Structure 1
């Protein structure tokens, strides 16, 4: 009997249900989502405890907060957590820093209604219902997200949605099928609860089937890093489903230029977009692949700019699936403890 057959027999016999708790998300990786520890009194640290919940590329959380000077916070990029293959110019990491700074600002200033959605915000990588967002909801998103130099665009027009879907899927094929870029993404996968607990960043790969596959030797990091292996294949299958039958609309953020300040402002706008969408019951899922600057993606990057009517020096900073999730139960992504981000 092969190992694969053995796993199928276990599943058929109901053993999967018994083992359901074998590989869940560690509580320690979710603890930051509870908010600041009540024992923390320094207002800077309390604000940083919220800021680290910001969305960021590959969930690598490439932030270092220097709090050595009393009353000040200096934010730096953690250069050990960059993405040189998929983000060669550091554009995405700057967007993540912008989101961090905007959430930090909200946490220090009372009265921003969007802040109420911080703990509920999720990236929902799932099928959305065919119902697109209504005009009033899109107007509310625009009001929340637009800022000086940052514009929010959207489409619910079926033919344009199909064209963007096709481009987004092609972007996935290119990234997942290119050895260097796929391996970089695969390196951010945390395989099993033990790895997530040890390094609560990146993408958690959990669940009973994963636990059984690992335990039986069918799944390991070498298999996941292979662009022709199970990881890339499953990732592309998942995105194909989402982009052929589960995406009713798109929103995007563009900037007047591609300066570092524009990238930071785009991150601030994206954070506000996420929080407003959460309050409206809308699901978001950014598509980063088609916006990346590595050589194999450049032609497609130009094509998506043309599709959205953006000409140089304007830059598309975020392209995001939007809709109503068919399944709204989403576990938060793991977060590193505040202490791991501090330079104190």
Structure 2
């Protein structure tokens, strides 16, 4: 009798376990097609006839603040378009002046430029064709003027010889083009491996007249910048408004990822696909697990791990803080990211100390006193190194969702 009872208990437990797993699979949407990853396919752009849409389909892959993808495009004429900030996707608590949203317009433009070149066009980019919008971050201000006008012209026949040869042989025009299809942010641990000095020199040489890249890997600077990043994260973790804003942008399951296609997910943290789906299922069944408090603790833990496993940092510093140099810093960041990725390095912005809400003022002042000259602005703080593991790509909007006729 005891044996039968034990067997029945095992069967009952197995049944409950199966039902539980099935429930997790259903609420997570594990079986759904991941529409939010479609733009990462190298042939994604080929479904569109308009060359402007084809290059824009590459632009949506660019790195951007809080993965909000705050781009809005208005097509004009037959060969040009205007780029605006999409004010429906902003983070006013963490980015009250809309500076990071403006930087993200620049990251987009560089991906568009590289894609245009690869597809046989020259992208003529005019920043702020109607003048800069103001420095305050209201939606009315950020949406008042276009960030850029981009015109596509067929590449001229007098292109450099190596470009012509590459087109004739079907090779890549730019070595950075295939790198655009790699994940842009690695939140995992990096190896202790230092960057090669020649790589540092090449990366810093990307600097422009108004925007400078500086790489730090001496122990003193790594420790100092890591400490700034961690203390700034603690300030952010203690800001209920910022935490609630981040919690609202978190997509806990496949249903939500396909619906929104922007914001935060569990990918990118080195978790196995199975663990991601199990955790997503649990979060879907028990939403309280995604409370601002839980989000705060997870954020601090991840930042601490990141800081403890970072061999180098980079700063992007501009002359002044005009809207134009903000866009230019985004352009340079994309170039920096793609060039470093082509070398085998990965990056993760840790830019809390550069944010401009009142509670962060002390950290903002400290990083500028330590690393910027008078009149300069630190636009980004980035960790860089060789990642311990690969990460999957993150959500991206369908290109047609950012376009207005």
Q: TM-score normalized by structure 2?
A: 0.75
Moved more, 276-285 or 119-128: 119-128
Q: Which residue of 290, 295, 300 corresponds with 1:231?
A: 295
Matched, 1:173 2:239: no
Deviation at 1:225, TM superposition (A): 4.5
By how many angstroms is 1:23 displaced? 5.6
CA distance in 2, matches of 1:91, 1:296: 17
**Structure-to-structure mapping, 1:295-334, within 5 angstroms:** 295-308=358-371, 310-327=372-389, 329-334=390-395
Deviation digits for residues 263-285 of structure 1, max 9, x if unmatched? 00000000001101110000100
Structure with higher RCO (Cα < 8 A, 6+ apart): 1
What is the match of residue 82 of structure 2?
A: 74
The correspondence for 2:347, drawn from 284, 288, 294, is: 284
Tell me by how many angstroms 1:122 deviates: 2.4
Residue aligning to 1:29 = 36
1:168-198 deviation line (CA, Å, top 9, x unaligned)? 0111111121011111122211111110011
Q: Structure 1's 154 and 37: CA in aligned 2 closer, same or farther, altered over 3 A?
A: closer
Q: Which range moves more in the overlay, 68-77 or 267-276? A: 68-77
Any idea what SS the aligned residue of 1:80 has? coil
Deviation at 1:72, TM superposition (A): 1.3
Paired with 1:103 and 1:212, the residues of 2 have a C-alpha distance of: 35
User: Is the contact between residue 25 and residue 281 of structure 2 (CA under 8 Å) also seen in structure 1?
Assistant: no
Aligned 8 A contact 1:141 1:276 in 2: yes
* Alpha-carbon distance between aligned partners in 2 of 1:238 and 1:23, rounded to the nearest angstrom: 26
- Counterpart in the other structure of 1:38: 46
Whether the 8 Å contact between 1:187 and 1:225 is mirrored in structure 2 is no
Moved more, 36-45 or 129-138: 36-45
Partner of 1:49: 57
Contact 2:183 2:391 in 1 (8 A): no
Instruction: Specify which of 246, 251, 273 is matched with residue 190 of structure 1.
Output: 251
> How far off is 1:334 after superposition?
0.5
* Equivalent residue number for residue 6 of structure 1: none
CA contact (8 A) 1:121 1:278 kept: no
Number of equivalences: 325
> 2:346 and 2:263 mapped to 1: Cα distance?
20
Task: Please name the residue that 2:114 is paired with.
Answer: 106
Q: Matched residues in 2 for 1:215 and 1:92: separation?
A: 30
Change (3 A) 1:112 1:318: same
Deviation, 1:234, is 1.3
Q: Which runs of 5+ in 1 are unaligned?
A: 1-8
* Larger radius of gyration between Structure 1 and Structure 2: 2
Give 1:135 deviation, angstroms.
Answer: 0.6
Aligned equivalents of 2:291 and 2:232: distance in 1?
18
Q: How well do the aligned residues superpose, as a CA RMSD in angstroms?
A: 2.4
TM, length-normalised to structure 1: 0.88
User: Does the aligned pair in 2 maintain the 1:68–1:343 contact within 8 Å?
Assistant: no
Q: What secondary structure sits across from 2:88 in the alignment?
A: helix
State the Cα distance separating 1:44 from its structure 2 match: 0.5
Q: Distance in 2 between matches of 1:235 and 1:54?
A: 23
- Whether contact under 8 Å (2:40, 2:181) holds in the other structure is yes
Do the aligned partners of residues 225 and 293 (structure 1) sit closer, same or farther apart at CA in structure 2, a change above 3 Å counting?
A: farther
Q: Displacement of 1:288 after TM fit? A: 1.7
| Alignment partners' CA distance in 1, 2:313 and 2:25 | 35
Q: Distance in 1 between matches of 2:283 and 2:291?
A: 15
